[in-house]
Chains A and B, each alone.
Chain A
Amino acid sequence: MIRILDITFKDLLQLMRDFKTFMFLLLMPILFTFLFGYAFGGFGGNSDSRLPVGYLSQDNHWVTDSLHDLLSESDLISLRENVFLSPADLEQQVANGDLAAAIIVPHGYGRDVLKNRTDLRLIVIADTNSTAWTSVEAELLRITSRLDGAVRTATIIERIDSERMPFHYAFEKTLDAWNDPPIAVTETKSPAVAKVSDSGAALAHTAPGMMLQFAIAGLLTAAQIIVTERKTRTLQRLLTTSTRRIDVALGHFLAIFLLLFTQFTILIVFSQVILKVDYFRVPEATALVAVSAALCISALGLLIGFAAQSEEQAITFSLIPMFVFAGLGGAWVPLEVTGATFRAVGHVSPVAWGMDGFENIVARGLGFESVLLPSAALLGYALLFFSLAVWRLYASEEK
């Protein structure tokens, strides 16, 4: 046992001597968490999960301005306005999927609303079979109904008391009244739903994603220590002492594990404190997933170290799982947005199980039980990789 710790300590000493390694292992994942978080709309102000809807007004009327204001204030749709775009351009953008729908306000729309005419209405471009259209349609109906209702109410009030309540005043008051209705429905959400809809949802995905991806990338350094050990024949020399092969494997494994677990701990604390990704909501679950993931990736690093015959091979063997496992396992793009088949295939990658575990805590708001299956899967992978690594060590040294 003591020799295992001696080898571990020696490996860590070697790693600490390389300043660039530490830069790579700690700063790169932090940097990429920011980059991916930003790209997926994290960091509050830049986050906009509303449906993009094109808007083109051909009408110059104050009612149309009110319509525009109501649309702009919508929680569901986000207006994309560009005066240089034609209706045909908007149609193309909807067809391309760049816009969920497009609204064209025809000339005379405001005047007709005032006259309570229904023959001239908004022109809407949308794929009427899409779920996005259903949402946009409902929101449009809500807003136009509010506008019509305000016009009718103001007309009635003006008839009753035009001196004290002129039409414009009554119209604005009516519209304002919707902001503070006499009856309000309060919607409560489960913590899980609340987490998903949180503006930090993007970071709740990218923080664990980058952490897992760069843990695999860090294997390059750890594996190279083993490759160099064999290349310089220090591994062979170790085996001429009474140190057992399994002790050599465990010593290296423990060193990689401690390195990765430290990396995880720093990144989890960083994400919690700086990015407000709530890993500490269920700390025991976070710890279990972190330990399982670190064990799994450490065993993979050990396998790469014993399988690679040269530094070039170690680089290749480290980069391939980094890109394949991270990409397939949903570290870059959430598996939820992919199809069922891709999701199933993605779970061949241990990263998918790691993502499941962490996202169950920080994105889905689930409890300790939810990380048991992902953790078991990670530990299964750890056992598989470690067994293959030890087999490789025994086999290669007999050649």
Chain B
Amino acid sequence: MENLPAIEVLSLHKAFGENRAVQGVSFKVGQGEIFSLLGPNGAGKTTTISMLSCLLRPDDGDARIMGHSIRSDGNGVKSALGVVPQDIALYEDLTAHENLSFWGKMYGLRGSELKKRVDEVLDIIGLRERANERVGKYSGGMKRRVNIGVALLHKPKVIYMDEPTVGIDPQSRRNILDSVVALKDQGMTVLYTTHYMEEAQELSDQIGIMDHGQMIASGTHDELVKLVGGQTRIDLTVNAEPQRILGAWQSVEGVEQASVEDEKISLLVADSNQVLPHLFEAATRQAVRITSVDIREPNLEAVFLHLTGRALRD
């Protein structure tokens, strides 16, 4: 059981009429790992999560959650996982305590066990003092905490978190990201969907990039960055016509590509530390003053751009 992958997805397919929402998605997540599904809106992340939650039946393919097949053992899957939906899926006219009690019952908890877990979760999400207030009166961040708390009630082995930071303030976002790390520390496996590359980069042991229903790349952050050759992008502005210095910089050793966009000179380089001094020397020789330098390390945005030709935010 210990060597079993927490999540094993095998060529899932799902179409809604002509729309092929998920096309042959496969990936594995080891126990205790955080796996982020990264992709723009409409990439198929939520459809994938819905199939893994047994909400949607796949047209083809299968997945095993802690060894339970989503096709043949829905109850086993459901007992092993907790789902944190993108929306605040709570009853706003009930209190936090009533919400947690109700959801605990739906997860099969009863009696003293239910009471104990509700109290523990209230402590985890830091809302014990305000447990008897209606959720509708909570701030957005507090609602998000209850939303996560519900998924923890039955101590699941695997948690799905579907874009849990959409539309919330930076402080609440920080709290949620910290709580995801805390869940991992407790040994839980987290499947996290997002279209914020910073979150995927910060949290994940592994990242899968989805676009148009397909998994176009997956691996650790470093593995993915290597797909774009590990190049650093340097954007520079100068006090002269860009074309005057462009040729000189193109010939600097280590500069692999140079172009001008919006009066800015963009260079793709292997090692920015090595190249930058030579760029300044060349500028001095040409009597051109550099007015700004912006160094961008290779990131998932660049990977997505490299793989799809589009920015992640498009």
Contact = CB atoms under 8 A, between A and B. Distances in A.
Interface string B29-41: 0000000000000
A370 to B, nearest CB: 43
Contacts of A266: none
A221 to B, nearest CB: 12
A241 B55 CA distance: 10
A3 to B, nearest CB: 7
Given A6-B105, A240-B55, A398-B57, A233 B79 contact: no
Contacts of B93: 14, 17-18
Interface in A171-195: none
Contact of B98 (A3, A13, A18, A233): A13
A240 B108 contact: no
Interface in A379-399: 397-399
Contacts of A2: 105, 110
Most central of A13, A232, A236, A240 by chain B CB within 10 Å: A240
B281 interface: no
Interface stretch (B84-92, B125-133, B228-236): B84-92
A129 interface: no
B305 interface: no
Secondary structure class of chain B's binding surface, majority of residues: loop
B56 interface: yes
A236 B107 contact: no
Nearest to A17: B93
Interface string A1-22: 0110010001001100110000
Most central of A18, A236, A241 by chain B CB within 10 Å: A241
B79 A242 contact: yes
Contacts of A241: 78, 103, 106-108
A13 B85 CA distance: 24
B108 A234 contact: no
Most central of A2, A242, A243 by chain B CB within 10 Å: A242
Interface string A228-241: 00001110111111
B27 interface: no
Contacts of B78: 240-242
A240 B105 contact: no
B83 A240 contact: yes
Interface in A206-247: 232-234, 236-243
B98 A237 contact: no
Interface in B193-213: none
A113 to B, nearest CB: 78
B89 A236 contact: yes
A234 B89 contact: yes
Contacts of A10: 91, 94, 98, 102
A237 B75 contact: no
29 contacts: A2-B105, A3-B105, A3-B106, A6-B106, A10-B91, A10-B98, A14-B91, A232-B87, A232-B89, A232-B90, A232-B91, A233-B86, A233-B89, A236-B85, A236-B89, A237-B89, A237-B150, A239-B54, A239-B55, A240-B81, A241-B78, A241-B106, A241-B107, A241-B108, A242-B74, A242-B107, A242-B108, A398-B56, A399-B16
